[in-house]
Amino acid sequence: MKAKILKALREVGDGYLSGAVLCEKFGVSRQAIWKNIATLKEIGYEFESVSNKGYKLIFVPDTLYGPEIESRLPEASFCKKVISFDTTDSTNLQAKKAAELGEPEGTIVVADEQTAGRGRRGRDWDSVHGTGIYMSILLRPQTDPDKVSCLTLLAALAVSDVLREDCGVQVQIKWPNDIVIGGKKLCGILTEMSSEEGYINRVVVGIGINANMESFPEELQSKATSVFLETGQKIDRAGLTAAVAERFGGYYLTYMKNRSFREFLEPYNDRLVNRDKEVKIYYGMIESAKPEEIETGIARGIDENGALLVEVDGQVREVVSGEVSVRGVMDYV
């Protein structure tokens, strides 16, 4: 109900909606409308109430609040339900729990802070309360497990689209799961799957975006950046979350319908930061890789299965994301 009220009030802009209109629109009592608005006020929303006119929404707090994000999603959106936390261990962990409880495909889990966020290969993902976007999308794809790696690529493409179009940040993609600009990481993606005997129980796509961070610890300043640091503008985190979910949902449905990444190849490769550049392939942990576990080659793009094509000694080989890490010869990118 809160999402419906927020959507209705947002749609009238500077106008007002009376309690009677809201009651009729949603088929509830005036008391139900009043209680929901009172709850919204308690968490920071501000409304103007005028006799014989009704309510007008005048202030929205900067928070990843479930009903707020739901109110930004189109009626026909693939993602319809948002479960939100002020602080949680990990949105991916919470999305897995939601899957076990039977929550539908397309459910989004968000948090203003993570205390146990993780990146690829179990690395920690630092979280600062109220500044980033930490979101996970629950999926139940009816496909072969080997097709799941492409979901990470779809998420990267969706995030890069929204950051370019809505924020004016000309980001690129570092295969398979990072969004970068100027050699620094702006977003990371972690896709986790539960499957058995060729059947997928569920997939969780976790997305962490450095949105409004004003600074980073000294050891990360050369490696990480945020939308705010790149543009000087604070972004609407709830709006960006909804936009990413909507874009990814559309791509996911197209991918599942066609069972092919083919139509996404060109835009993905156009944004691939390492394309036609020299890269190092690490067959093992980067921090402890032995010389025989490292190869150098030229990245040529990705194929229809999401593998990175790397030319090594004149031979092009397919590099699968679950097997290796890829870095630029001189640095992270």
Report the distance separating Cα 79 and Cα 108, nearest Å. Answer: 7
Question: pTM for the full model?
Answer: 0.92
CB-based contact 155:92 (threshold 8 Å): no
Q: Are 248 and 122 in a shared domain?
A: yes
For 72-118, strand residue ranges (E) read 82-85, 108-111
CB-based contact 152:189 (threshold 8 Å): yes
Q: Are 139 and 264 in a shared domain?
A: yes
Whether 288 maps to a domain, the answer reads yes
Where among 19, 44, 59 does a domain terminate?
59
Within 8 A by CB and 6+ apart from 157, the residues are 173, 251, 264, 267, 268, 271
CB-based contact 243:211 (threshold 8 Å): no
Whether 315 maps to a domain, the answer reads yes
Q: Are 83 and 102 in a shared domain?
A: yes
Closest CA to 53 of 102, 87, 20, 4: 20
- Per-residue pLDDT of the chain in tens (333 residues, 90 and over written 9): 999 999 999 999 889 999 899 999 999 999 999 999 999 999 999 999 998 899 999 999 999 999 999 999 999 999 999 999 999 999 999 999 999 999 999 999 999 999 986 654 445 555 778 999 999 999 999 988 888 999 999 999 999 999 999 999 999 999 988 999 999 999 999 999 998 877 899 999 999 999 999 999 998 889 999 999 999 999 999 999 999 999 999 999 999 999 999 999 999 999 999 999 999 888 766 666 676 678 899 999 999 999 999 999 899 989 887 666 777 655 666
Q: Are 226 and 246 in a shared domain?
A: yes
Q: Are 46 and 190 in a shared domain?
A: no
Report the distance separating Cα 54 and Cα 48, nearest Å. Answer: 8
DSSP string over 152-172? HHHHHHHHHHHHHHHH----E
Q: Are 78 and 30 in a shared domain?
A: no
Q: Which domain holds residue 102?
A: 66-271
Report the distance separating Cα 234 and Cα 231, nearest Å. Answer: 8
**270: phi then psi, degrees, rounded to nearest 5:** -65, -25
- Return the CA Rg of the chain: 22
Number of domains composing the chain: 3
Query: CA-based angle 45:49:55, to the nearest 5?
Result: 70
